[in-house]
Amino acid sequence: MKNVIGALALVVAMGAAPQMVLAQDASLNPNFGSVRLNSGFTPDPHRVSITAGGSIDAYEDTPLPQACVGMISNAPDYKVTYSAGGLPLVFRTLSSVDTTLIINGPDGSWSCDDDGYGDLDAEVRFNSPQSGTYDVWVGTFGGSTARATLLITETP
């Protein structure tokens, strides 16, 4: 009887506890496509028009590092398969609203930015990029969705 009561108490406690949303599912198809780029790609920058934002709060609802902020979608917005050379790989956002970047690199590490490109745009720079897949989420700060451009460049 004690085991049954203990099990019921655990179920009730789990139901009352806040649930963390599992976000950033890189296995899902990207919202706005994908590209394969080799070091020295042209044109540089590679530009992608997207709708930034989503229903998941990266700071509050995910297990991401605390530097990751913004409203994002579950699926990545864009997937880049990159063959590295001797150049840096830089991701930037351009938008009329405050955008953020969340990137899962080929080694599984997370890189995030808010406002690093200036004027409320984000930038994540890999000075010695690895070859492999970069899953990219473009978020919005403040809860709305917005038109944005994702720039991928090797130019500082």
Q: Are 59 and 137 in contact (CB under 8 A)?
A: no
Is residue 56 helix, strand or coil?
strand
Q: Tell me the pLDDT tens digit for each residue of 142-154.
A: 778 999 999 999 9
CB under 8 Å to 155, separation ≥6 — which residues?
Answer: 44, 45, 90
Determine the average pLDDT of the residues in 83-101.
Answer: 96
**Range of weakest confidence among 6-20, 30-44, 133-147:** 6-20
pLDDT of residue 23: 56
pTM: 0.84
CATH code matching the domain that covers 21-153, chosen among 2.40.10.340, 2.60.120.380, 3.40.50.300, 1.10.3720.10: 2.60.120.380
